[in-house]
């Protein structure tokens, strides 16, 4: 339970049907952080109102070692990591699942969460599949694309069958005090007095100045670290607008970690911003690898943003634990470090980190 309406309604749906429901709150950041204590107080109130017990567990060290520090290291190398998928893989459906198994190993147990996705049994095959949530605006299957497939039969995702307004209405019907609580935005431990996430990263990364260059190698400005820019975003460099060769809006098209350079190009639709191939490593197969590779490519789709565009797959090839995915049409601003996910319709099949 995170203290939000989604996990609260998930708990209420089962608490009103079963007697042995137990709330659990993960404190994955500083145990004295304002957001940690505020959310824990809300969880305790929710559990009191639902007449269920609640427990607070501390996975701070696990979060730091398997999610946060790897995220910092990747930003330092110019990558664009996704800590949400890492947290789900290593902590929520990793460490927490292991904790529950050790605690209830002699009993039957299930983990209920408030994610907008669905885990359902495919009756013809008996397989357990991870599917997109019913709500296209809130679907979170992308963030669950790296969880261990072995945990799926023990996971229940009730709100994946609803849309957000219905969940808020259910929250009101259950009398939950968080029914109208705003959705969380970003990471709770990023102080609200910091202007953006890069300000937060500056607390953990030493400045690493480098050049901002055009494709011909000409230096136009300087940056304080590759993490200060995102591929596809507008460049902060002021180009000579009086010169027709440079007039217009310039965008970051690539990062060169070897030379510590940001490469910029002119125009939102510059060809170098578009790619028709993604190479994935550190693969996670939620559906058996041999079955994924046997599916005709035209039945598959590729996605590299949560709620982002779905791209048709022309071909896939697995070589030396690297998955090469050719897509159509070309995708703009696909960045190394992002998570690429393979779908078949609504079903999540596999994911990996974009090289």
pLDDT given at position 339: 98
Ramachandran angles phi, psi of 67, nearest 5°: -125, -60
Neighbouring residues of 171: CB distance < 8 A, sequence distance ≥ 6: 5, 8, 9, 12, 178, 179, 180
Q: Per residue in 127-153, pLDDT tens?
A: 999 999 999 999 999 999 999 999 999
pLDDT given at position 183: 86
Residue 111 above 80 pLDDT? yes
Q: Which CATH architecture has domain 5-173?
A: 3-Layer(aba) Sandwich (3.40)
- Is 35 among the catalytic positions? no
Q: Would you call 176 exposed, middle or buried from its count of C-beta atoms within 10 A (0-12, 13-18, 19+)?
A: buried
* CA distance linking residue 217 with residue 288, whole number of Å: 45
**In residues, how long is the chain?**
355
C-alpha distances (whole Å) from 315 to each of 24, 292, 300 are: 43, 12, 9
* CA distance linking residue 336 with residue 355, whole number of Å: 5
pLDDT given at position 187: 62
> Please, what sign has the CA dihedral across residues 185, 177, 30, 56?
negative
**What mean pLDDT is reported for the chain?**
94
Q: Per residue in 230-243, pLDDT tens?
A: 999 999 999 999 99
pLDDT given at position 106: 82
- Is 87 among the catalytic positions? yes
* CA distance linking residue 297 with residue 279, whole number of Å: 16
Active-site hit among 35, 47, 54, 87:
87
Q: Is the peptide bond before 329 cis (omega within 30 degrees of 0)?
A: yes
CATH assignment of 207-268? 2.30.30.280
* CA distance linking residue 258 with residue 116, whole number of Å: 40
Q: Per residue in 161-188, pLDDT tens?
A: 999 999 999 999 999 999 999 887 666 5
Residue 31 above 70 pLDDT? no
Residue 73 above 90 pLDDT? yes
Of residues 297 and 199, more confidently modeled? 297
Active-site hit among 35, 47, 54, 188:
188
Q: Per residue in 5-29, pLDDT tens?
A: 999 999 999 999 999 999 999 988 7
N-term to C-term CA, the chain: 34
Q: Do domains 5-173 and 273-354 have the same CATH topology?
A: no
Q: Which sequence spans correspond to the domains of the chain?
A: 5-173, 207-268, 273-354
Q: Which CATH architecture has domain 273-354?
A: Beta Barrel (2.40)
C-alpha distances (whole Å) from 198 to each of 27, 70, 184, 293 are: 24, 16, 19, 39
How confident is residue 270, by pLDDT bands cut at 50, 70 and 90?
very high
C-alpha distances (whole Å) from 35 to each of 13, 111, 138, 195, 198 are: 26, 24, 23, 18, 20
* CA distance linking residue 292 with residue 288, whole number of Å: 6
Of residues 105 and 321, more confidently modeled? 321
Residue 192 above 60 pLDDT? no
Give the DSSP letter string of 342-354.
EEETTEEEEEEEE
* CA distance linking residue 50 with residue 45, whole number of Å: 9
Q: Per residue in 40-59, pLDDT tens?
A: 999 999 999 999 999 999 99
Closest CA to 159 of 176, 141, 142: 141
Burial 113-131 (b: 16+ CB within 10 A, else e): bbbbbbbbeeeeeebbbbb
pLDDT given at position 12: 98
> Please, what sign has the CA dihedral across residues 289, 290, 295, 298?
positive
């Amino acid at each position: 339970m995170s203290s939000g309406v989604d996990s609260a309604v998930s708990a209420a749906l089962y608490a009103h049907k079963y007697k042995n429901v137990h709330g659990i709150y993960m404190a994955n950041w500083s145990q004295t952080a304002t957001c940690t204590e505020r959310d824990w107080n809300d969880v305790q109130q929710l559990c009191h109102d639902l007449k269920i017990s609640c427990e607070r567990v501390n996975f701070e060290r696990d979060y730091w070692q398997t999610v946060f520090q790897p995220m910092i290291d990747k930003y330092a190398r110019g990558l664009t990591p996704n800590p949400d998928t890492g947290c789900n893989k290593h902590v929520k459906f990793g460490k927490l699942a292991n904790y529950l198994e050790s605690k209830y190993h002699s009993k039957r147990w299930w983990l209920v969460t408030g994610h907008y996705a669905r885990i359902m049994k495919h009756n013809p095959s008996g397989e357990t599949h991870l599917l997109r949530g019913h709500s296209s605006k809130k679907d979170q299957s992308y963030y669950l694309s790296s969880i261990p497939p072995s945990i799926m039969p023990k996971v229940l995702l009730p709100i994946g069958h609803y849309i957000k307004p219905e969940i808020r209405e259910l929250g009101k019907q259950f009398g939950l005090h968080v029914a109208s609580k705003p959705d969380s935005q970003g990471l709770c431990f990023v102080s609200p007095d910091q202007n953006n996430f890069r300000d937060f990263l500056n607390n953990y990364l030493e400045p690493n100045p480098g050049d901002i260059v055009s494709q011909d190698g000409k230096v136009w400005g300087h940056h304080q670290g590759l993490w200060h820019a995102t591929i596809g975003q507008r460049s902060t460099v002021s180009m000579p607008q009086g010169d027709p060769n440079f007039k217009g809006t310039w965008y970051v098209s690539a990062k060169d970690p070897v030379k510590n350079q940001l490469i910029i190009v002119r125009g939102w639709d510059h060809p170098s911003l578009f790619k028709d191939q993604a190479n994935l490593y550190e693969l996670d197969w939620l559906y058996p690898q041999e079955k994924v590779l046997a599916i005709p490519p035209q039945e598959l789709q590729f996605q590299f943003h949560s709620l982002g565009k779905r791209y048709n797959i022309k071909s896939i090839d697995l070589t030396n634990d690297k998955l090469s995915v050719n897509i159509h049409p070309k995708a703009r601003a696909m960045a190394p470090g992002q998570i690429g996910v393979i779908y078949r319709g609504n079903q999540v099949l596999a994911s990996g980190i974009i090289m």
